[in-house]
Structure 1
Amino acid sequence: ERDLNYYYNKFKYGEDCFHYLMSKKVKEILLISTFYDAFIFEQDGRLSEQIFGEYRQLNLSTAPMITSVPTGEEALRILKERQFDLVITMLHVGKITSFDLARQIKENYPDLPILLLLNMESDIPSVDQYRDRMTIFDGVFLWKGDTKLFLAMVKSIEDKRNLEYDTKHGLVRVILLVEDSVQYYSMFLPLFYEEIMKQTQILIREELNDINKRLRMRARPKVILAKTYEEAAEIYEHYKEYIIAVISDISYLHNGKLDNEAGIKLISEVKKNIYDVPTILLSSEFKNSDKAAAIQSTFLYKYSNQLLNNLRKFIVDNLGFGDFVFRDVNGNEIDRARSLIEFEEKLKTIPDETIVYHSKRNHFSAWLMARGETFIARSMRLLTVGDFDSISEVRQHLVSTLNQIRKSRNKGKIINFHPKSLYESNEISRLTEGSLGGKGRGLAFLNALLITMEFEKHFTGVNITLPATAIIGTNEFDQFIRENRIFDRLKENQNDREIGEIFLKGRLSNELTEKLSSFLEIIRYPLAV
């Protein structure tokens, strides 16, 4: 019984416990603000609508709920009655100051995160003046009417709370942002989360297995904000092997004093890492571009009107999101791959110099990293073209690695049909949606059991597999009956031959017909139906 439970959990949740990633979610938010601000946030900002896309992908039905109260006193009262996952307070909340309110909340609920939300830039000097008192808050943000700020605030808290577990157990990647300006990180974080969510959802579409789709969103990269050199260095050292990008301002606190080269020092340390981590240095002084170039870091000018576009482009180009664009030695596009299967196929034919171009820049590993293949991407980072006897060997290594990734992802699972899957044993494809039926369900279960229990490891020389199998879901039958008006054509006392002729005159759906055509183009052996 113990063994059966082990194999059941292994099949259902996977060996890496992706099921438990992002377990600490923000579901109830207490917003402390004036009636006017609360109305604006709820109607214009609408937190639940901003993260609806992610919740839909995770098959969850409820978005975070916002409860608004107008004063600090009312907040303290409602906290005694209900449990909340996050408190967001404005600077002015009645007779009690926001600082005193936060202190009282922390005394009674020390693990409850509190964010301070400013709605005017003129409040920032006041906040800076009381920097020592600001440590009571888990974060300070500036509202400028961008509704995506709420998403960023919630996600920043969730990422902090889940960081330790998710990196250790799920190998989740981390983007480190080092910025002490409330104005700038309140602008950067919404952009980062919007782009990460959008790109992750694009990746989800290429998944052939529905379980993998849900896990993909949970394993999206996290964004962690640091405001001082010491804080950034500590995060970097602790999560070094998971960090996929460092984006840093140049001037911020170092050893308690403003250091105009803190970012240069931090990125210089990052560049010593054996992994080639993409970096950006941000500055309001253009002269710092030479310092960034000297340590081979991208430089972005804060006052540029293309700042946000350049940050968005950096995420897509350097973190492996989007299509993989194959380039020649001059950087010109020669082809592109939109999915893992397409990528594998095109690797077989692209020129040798293109393989060298991307290998030297770690583009292959970054692309795989974005798709959650952290183990393989990490080992690939450590390999150089010089580790192989020829470019042909590099090509073969890449193709065989991708082939193994695809096999391991879908092994024992029911995947959505793709012609490539017909070449693999132990894969069951779903041609159309709906129930699998008794025989299909039995084959699928047996296949999952054989794969999960890994008989070949326990019994040397024994190899039990199922042939590649495709199943037509029951939705096709329902659609066939409806669109061909079968019931209207049936009469009393018809025999089986007459009923069979009515069915034979019907037409299958275009979707199924196209998939069956692809299926039959490949099949060159006896087919059991």
Structure 2
Amino acid sequence: MTDDRNNLSVEFDRLLTERGVSPRFHEFQRLIPHRVRDILLVASLYDSYVFEEEGRLYEGILSEYVDLNLSNAPNLVRAPSGKRGLEMAAGERHFDLIIVTRSLGDMDALTFAVRLREAGITTPLVLLTYDNRELGEVQSREELSLFEWVFVWQGDFRILIAIIKLLEDRLNVEHDTRALGVQSIIVIEDNAAFYSSFLPLIYTEVIRHHQHLISDSVNTAHRLLRMRARPKILLCTNYEEAMRYYRSYEDCILGIISDVEFPREGKRDRQAGLRFAREVKASHLDVPILLNSDNPDHEREARRLQVSFLYKSSPLFMHELTRFIVQHFAFGDFVFRAPDGRAVGRAADLRALEEQLAIIPDEILKHHAERNHFSYWLKARTEFYLADKLRPQRVTDYKDLGELRQHLLNSLRTFRRERELGLISDFDPRTFVAEASFSRIGGGSLGGKARGLAFMAGLLNNFDLRHKFENVEITVPPAVVLGTDIFEEFMDNNDLSDFAIQVED
């Protein structure tokens, strides 16, 4: 009996994967296996006061987690001295991250790091300096290699959220990319003060736009699961580290934001970013790249490579960076453009994309298909199954553009229909698929009859039983079910509750 159940489970998973359901509803649950839940902040009493006075540190973290709809805000435990920090790190309580400030009163941060590692404690360690002066004092020290990263406090508590998410992204990128094809953004910058200023912005924008993109979900549960597939941000401080990430995950790179001058082969290379951009463009022409520098020569080189460019000292840098992220990382609507750049159509969701694909001119269809824009946009929305199905196809694989158009339309229709099969979706007139949906309006229980129909619909779809018997098709009719909350509201609003209880018929 046990073997039969195991075989059934394996077959069930196989069928789900083949139908594109497993990546959406099962693999999403396995994402982000490593989370930062407990943080030890080792800081002098004065530094702790500065954090609280300027940023109301933990209150701000909790508030931001709520605003960004993030779950499981980590616990923050403080140690007022280096000695106490070492004792707590070696104690029974497990910490996922240790953040230490430059001066601890009884020792400096570098001494703390050395003693921590000598004690055999391997917990990730981040140095948070108070200003550029403190940063300059430690940059040339050999012990700096004991830290994962160095950040500069600039009065914005969101820097703590960026540090937490940065570590989680690094710990989970291998698993999540291999499991589901989660996308990554490579950020190359070796100036700690500079990446300390813009990383909080990048994380905030990526999380907020990702939440907007996944609104086209089957139901609330699946929307929350898809939040786990937020693009990773991989901070690199030298050429070799960035290239290692790129080669490892090149088919899942959403985009690249890079300085131009940074270390390569142990020495500062004034054109490292340009070299990196050429390498990327040679293998993946469609990956968006933003280079930033204050050297006009670098801007000219960037234009020759057909990559975007920003001046680092520009007062509009943050604004333009946000604009680049939204436009080039497919976080907005899909904008259909003519080869000359004119916008001729727009799609906010899969249904709108399907509608536009049916009417756009051939030249615009070809323009986007040749550049993998459709699969790129779908991946940004965590529709990995459909994106991976479309990306290997080339325009030349079809006899004409009419055949390409029909393939895209059929793929979208089939995907939209089959993602509804066997599931109870939240009713939305914009996404409702009349021939396939089993939707609910309102909360509460479904009721016995509707629950039984939903259960049968799930069995038929998940085990591919609809066409199992020759010349027989087994289906559950599409339905919209009112939850018991709606029924009870109707009864109360119409004063029918007492009547229903008392009536004898």
Q: Same fold (TM over 0.5)?
A: yes
Distance 1:391 1:85, change over 3 A: same
| 1:44 counterpart = 2:48 | no
Match of 1:307 in 2: 317
Distance 1:393 1:163, change over 3 A: same
Report the alpha carbon displacement of residue 99 of structure 1 after superposing the two structures with TM: 1.3
Aligned runs of 1:321-340 on 2, under 5 Å? 321-340=331-350
| 1:95 counterpart = 2:103 | no
Match of 2:28 in 1: 18
The code of the aligned residue for 1:300 comes to L
Distance 1:275 1:428, change over 3 A: farther
Describe the superposition over 1:250-280 as per-residue Cα deviations: whole angstroms up to 9, x where unpaired: 1111111111111111111111114521111
CA distance in 1 between counterparts of 2:483 and 2:501 reads: 28
The code of the aligned residue for 2:43 comes to S
| 1:2 counterpart = 2:14 | no
CA distance in 1 between counterparts of 2:32 and 2:11 reads: 23
Match of 2:124 in 1: 113
* 1:144 aligned counterpart, secondary structure: coil
Please say if residues 50 and 147 of structure 1, whose CA atoms lie closer than 8 Å, have aligned partners that are also in contact: no
Describe the superposition over 1:465-508 as per-residue Cα deviations: whole angstroms up to 9, x where unpaired: 222122110010121122223347x4996564xxxxxxxxxxxx
Aligned runs of 1:423-434 on 2, under 5 Å? 423-425=434-436, 427-434=437-444
The code of the aligned residue for 1:442 comes to G
Normalised by the length of structure 2, the TM-score is 0.90
Aligned mate of 1:480, from 481, 490, 499: 490
CA distance in 1 between counterparts of 2:301 and 2:453 reads: 62
Match of 1:123 in 2: 134
Deviates more, 1:259-268 or 1:12-21: 12-21
Aligned runs of 1:195-206 on 2, under 5 Å? 195-206=205-216
The code of the aligned residue for 1:81 comes to E
The code of the aligned residue for 2:174 comes to E
CA distance in 1 between counterparts of 2:83 and 2:352 reads: 59
CA distance in 1 between counterparts of 2:273 and 2:163 reads: 24
Aligned runs of 1:261-410 on 2, under 5 Å? 261-274=271-284, 276-378=286-388, 380-410=390-420
* 2:309 aligned counterpart, secondary structure: strand
Aligned runs of 1:170-209 on 2, under 5 Å? 170-209=180-219
CA distance in 1 between counterparts of 2:418 and 2:115 reads: 51
CA distance in 1 between counterparts of 2:171 and 2:233 reads: 12
Please say if residues 7 and 452 of structure 1, whose CA atoms lie closer than 8 Å, have aligned partners that are also in contact: no
Report the alpha carbon displacement of residue 380 of structure 1 after superposing the two structures with TM: 3.4
Distance 1:174 1:459, change over 3 A: farther
Normalised by the length of structure 1, the TM-score is 0.86
Aligned CA RMSD, in angstroms, stands at 2.5
CA distance in 2 between counterparts of 1:235 and 1:367 reads: 22
Report the alpha carbon displacement of residue 326 of structure 1 after superposing the two structures with TM: 2.5
Describe the superposition over 1:307-351 as per-residue Cα deviations: whole angstroms up to 9, x where unpaired: 112211111111111222233444233332222122212221233
The code of the aligned residue for 1:98 comes to A
CA distance in 1 between counterparts of 2:184 and 2:128 reads: 25
In the comparison of the two structures, how many residue pairs are matched?
489
Report the alpha carbon displacement of residue 147 of structure 1 after superposing the two structures with TM: 2.2
Report the alpha carbon displacement of residue 18 of structure 1 after superposing the two structures with TM: 2.0
Describe the superposition over 1:399-444 as per-residue Cα deviations: whole angstroms up to 9, x where unpaired: 112223323433311111134534333x311122221111111111
Deviates more, 1:107-116 or 1:278-287: 107-116
Match of 1:238 in 2: 248
* 1:455 aligned counterpart, secondary structure: coil
Match of 1:466 in 2: 476
Distance 1:495 1:32, change over 3 A: same
Please say if residues 251 and 260 of structure 1, whose CA atoms lie closer than 8 Å, have aligned partners that are also in contact: yes
Report the alpha carbon displacement of residue 175 of structure 1 after superposing the two structures with TM: 0.7
Match of 2:221 in 1: 211
Distance 1:51 1:107, change over 3 A: farther
Deviates more, 1:193-202 or 1:305-314: 305-314
Report the alpha carbon displacement of residue 85 of structure 1 after superposing the two structures with TM: 1.0
Report the alpha carbon displacement of residue 156 of structure 1 after superposing the two structures with TM: 0.3
Return 5+ residue gaps in structure 2 as ranges: none
* 1:288 aligned counterpart, secondary structure: helix
User: Quick one: percent identity of the two aligned structures?
Assistant: 36
* 2:419 aligned counterpart, secondary structure: helix
Match of 1:504 in 2: none
Please say if residues 274 and 382 of structure 1, whose CA atoms lie closer than 8 Å, have aligned partners that are also in contact: no
Report the alpha carbon displacement of residue 117 of structure 1 after superposing the two structures with TM: 0.6
| 1:86 counterpart = 2:80 | no
Looking at both structures, which has the greater relative contact order when contacts are Cα pairs under 8 Å and sequence separation is at least 6? Answer: 2
